């Protein structure tokens, strides 16, 4: 008997189930589940860890006080990042629905789900264009000499000044087996005034890759090489999602882990370079006086919020394919901390190389530090030209960017496909989900074509700055208010307890109800106060383009009131208040997807007698639960368990 119990416990643990729960099949055969829990964690890590971890966080850290920035950053992680991450994972896992289906919890707020879909659409369009440019640079690195090394190319201008001379680089390539000190001695470094020079990598980026036009309205021609790479990007994404989470769950074993291999290789190479220590000091040296600056706290909160992918709909979607009793509390902590640790780690990789470049140029690190596309496609590639066997390091770097981008893109596309399939819900569309995936990929490709024109970079940055900025903050805030105050925090805490086997820890209960909404409101206010019209280098965007940017931002938010008014008008009731009340009530279909998990007030009555008796039983049970909750607050464990509960390890 004891042996069988032991085997059952082992099976429960392997399936990610809550210890103490009876072992069930727990599979949603109609909709599908992850093959195992590792697939979900790797997919979520790949989703959260994206390009921003490499090209945004290190720069923010450097500009906001170095090591001192880590303090507000981790404070925001604990009080906003992890709680919101846990909230979205538990929300999607409990209902086993995508970002539209979960709003059965309060149908009036389904517009929030549509807003998430709009945001994911915008991000999915331009994000794949960034990936396709990384593909282009990856293919361009398959050469003996990186094309952005010299200034003797047809696209270069008279103001171009390279960091190495042709003779010096040939010597370096001929002596790749020598030590760095010997190789560096043979490189003739052109020390020039940074303000007067145009780097060959910048001219390669502007005049060859983009052939950038002079205005956002001047589209010029479609850049066929970039268009071809965009097609490659979408084909790769489609093939990886051809069987939904069944296929993407296998791909992430590589796409979510190999970037860490590349980061480690680049880190080891970087810290062995001359000047690397100087670069890392710029990255980490604390400037404690900046902690009192509100902008530093605002940047920390914003970076945590955006880097974790909250309010995009992806977290809800990924969690919806979990088994019902999966410990998403543990997963949220693991994934959130992994994401932030990756950001910090990437900073060492970036600034060690930039420190090496600054040393050779004999300039301050601040002169070469950059972020966004400027770091990925100009500053870092130029620094790589100084290394022996530079094409190898370039291949590794851009391959890492491709994998980081694909991990996020998988989830963005799956979010849209899942929402469509769940909303229609017929057997035909579930069987033919691949057709939906292909259709969404084709539409995404066609919408991305304008971004491959000569004005494409202007539109890409416009979408990046407006499509997913303050609208995400508003969506997340309304989601918290809906779940905690419209549906009811007590109900939701009991739902989570029914799913996990233990109630949410008191820390998360307080954060969900009070702390996180306050921080989200702070981020929104900070975003509005700090707003500056977008520019690209010296180019100032015209007013009409900024108006389009605001329309993109508002298009996702306006889904919320428009759908709310529609739902109220369709709800039962003679007065507006009655209709409002009925539209906020949870739908009868709200709850666990599988009948075996629909217990308590979610259970369907089987007879008239049961209908009469159930309310009395539920009332007594609710009173008993309230007393238990009061007791649990006084004997709360560090991991959120209570004295009478079996607690899984977090």
Which residues share a beta bridge with 207?
none
Q: What tokens were used for 219? A: 């589209």
DSSP state of 574: S
C-alpha to C-alpha distances, 194 to 50, 180, 359, nearest whole angstrom: 30, 24, 13
The DSSP code sequence of 42-102 is HHHHHHHS-HHHHHTHHHHHHHTTTHHHHHHHHHHIIIIIHHHHHHHHHHHHHHT--TTGG
Residues 6+ away with beta carbon under 8 Å from 491: none
Distance CA 40, CA 200 (A): 42
Say if CB 98 and CB 416 are below 8 A apart.
no
Residue whose pair of structure tokens reads 């906020």 in the numeric block: 584
C-beta of residue 347 within 8 angstroms of C-beta of residue 283: yes
The closest of 339, 343, 342 to 308, measured between CA atoms, is 339
CB atoms within 10 A of CB 224: 9
Give the tokens for residue 144.
């003996």
Q: Is 326 annotated as a binding residue?
A: no
Q: How many CB atoms lie within 10 A of CB 341?
A: 12
Was 404 annotated as part of a binding site?
yes
231 annotated as belonging to a binding site for a ligand? no
Element at 378 (helix H, strand E) = none
Instruction: State the Cα–Cα distance between residues 110 and 105, nearest whole angstrom.
Output: 9
Among residues 464, 376, 398, 451, the alpha carbon closest in space to that of 223 is found at 451
Chain centroid offset of residue 634 CA: 37
Per-residue 3-state assignment (H helix, E strand, C coil) for 300-367: HHHHHHHHCCCCCCHHHHHHHCCCCCCCHHHHHHHHHHHHHHHHHHHHHHHHHHHHHHHHHHCCCHHH
Cα 207 off chain centre by = 31
User: Which of these, 622, 318, 321, 316, lies nearest to 497 by C-alpha position?
Assistant: 622
Q: Which residues contact 101 (CB under 8 A, 6 or more apart)?
A: 95, 113, 320, 419, 422, 423
Measure the CA–CA gap between 601 and 617, rounded to whole angstroms. 10
Q: Is 501 annotated as a binding residue?
A: no
Q: Is residue 368 annotated as involved in ligand binding?
A: no
Is 173 marked as a binding-site residue? no
Q: Is 604 marked as binding a ligand?
A: no
Q: Give the residue numbers of the binding site.
A: 46, 48-49, 53, 307, 339, 404
Q: Give the residue numbers of the binding site for Na(+).
A: 46, 48-49, 53, 307, 339, 404
């Amino acid at each position: 008997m004891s042996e069988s119990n032991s085997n059952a416990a082992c099976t429960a643990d392997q399936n990610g189930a809550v210890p103490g729960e009876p072992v069930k099949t727990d599979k949603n055969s109609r909709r599908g589940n992850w093959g195992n829990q590792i697939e979900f964690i790797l997919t979520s890590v790949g989703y959260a860890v994206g390009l921003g971890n490499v090209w945004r966080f290190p720069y923010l850290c450097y500009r906001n006080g170095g090591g001192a920035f880590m303090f507000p950053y981790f404070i925001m992680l604990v009080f906003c990042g992890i709680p919101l991450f846990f909230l979205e994972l538990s929300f999607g896992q409990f209902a086993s629905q995508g970002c539209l289906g979960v709003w059965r919890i309060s149908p009036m707020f389904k517009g929030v789900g549509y807003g998430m879909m709009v945001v994911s659409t915008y991000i999915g369009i331009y994000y794949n264009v960034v990936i396709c440019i990384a593909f282009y640079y990856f293919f361009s690195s398959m050469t003996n000499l990186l094309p952005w090394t010299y200034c003797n190319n047809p696209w270069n201008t008279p103001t171009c000044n390279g960091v190495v001379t042709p003779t010096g680089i040939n010597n370096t390539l001929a002596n790749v087996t020598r030590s760095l000190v010997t190789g560096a001695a043979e490189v003739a470094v052109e020390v020039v005034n940074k303000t007067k020079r145009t780097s060959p990598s910048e001219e390669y980026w502007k005049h060859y890759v983009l052939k950038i036009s002079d205005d956002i309205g001047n589209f010029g021609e479609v850049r066929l090489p970039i268009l071809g790479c965009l097609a490659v990007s979408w084909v790769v994404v489609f093939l990886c999602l051809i069987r939904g989470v069944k296929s993407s769950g296998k791909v992430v074993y590589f796409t979510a882990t190999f970037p860490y291999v590349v980061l480690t290789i680049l880190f080891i190479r970087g810290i062995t370079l001359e000047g690397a220590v100087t670069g890392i000091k710029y990255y980490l040296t604390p400037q404690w006086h900046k902690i009192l600056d509100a902008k530093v706290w605002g940047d920390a909160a914003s970076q945590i919020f955006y880097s974790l992918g909250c309010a995009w709909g992806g977290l809800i979607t990924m969690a919806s394919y979990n088994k019902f009793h999966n410990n998403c509390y543990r997963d949220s902590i693991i994934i959130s901390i992994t994401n932030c640790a990756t950001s910090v780690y990437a900073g060492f990789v970036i600034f060690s190389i930039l420190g090496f470049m600054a040393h050779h140029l004999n300039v301050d690190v601040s002169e070469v530090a950059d972020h966004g596309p400027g770091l990925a496609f100009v500053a870092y590639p130029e620094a790589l030209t100084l290394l022996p066997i530079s094409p190898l390091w370039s291949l590794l770097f851009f391959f890492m960017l491709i994998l980081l981008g694909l991990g996020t893109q998988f989830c963005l596309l799956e979010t849209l496909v899942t929402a469509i399939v769940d909303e229609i819900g017929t057997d035909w569309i579930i069987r033919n989900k691949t057709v939906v995936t292909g259709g969404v990929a084709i539409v995404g490709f066609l919408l991305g074509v304008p971004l491959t024109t000569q004005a494409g970079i202007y539109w890409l940055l416009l979408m990046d700055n407006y499509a997913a900025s303050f609208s995400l903050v508003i969506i997340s805030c309304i989601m918290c208010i809906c779940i905690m105050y419209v549906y009811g925090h007590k109900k939701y805490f009991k739902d989570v307890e029914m799913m996990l086997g233990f109630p949410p820890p008191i820390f998360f209960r307080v954060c969900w109800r009070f702390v996180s909404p306050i921080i989200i409101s702070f981020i929104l206010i900070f975003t509005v106060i700090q707003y500056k019209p977008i520019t690209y280098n010296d180019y100032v965007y015209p007013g009409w383009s900024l108006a389009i940017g605001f329309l993109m931002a508002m298009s996702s938010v306006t889904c919320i009131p428009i759908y709310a008014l529609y739902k109220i008008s369709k709800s039962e009731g003679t007065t507006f208040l009655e209709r409002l009340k009925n539209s906020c009530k949870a739908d009868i279909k709200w709850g666990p997807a599988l009948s075996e998990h629909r217990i308590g007030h979610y259970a369907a009555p089987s007879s008239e007698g049961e209908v009469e008796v159930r309310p009395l039983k539920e009332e007594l049970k609710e009173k008993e639960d309230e007393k238990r909750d009061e007791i649990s607050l006084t004997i709360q464990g560090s991991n959120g368990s209570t004295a009478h509960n079996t607690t899984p390890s977090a």
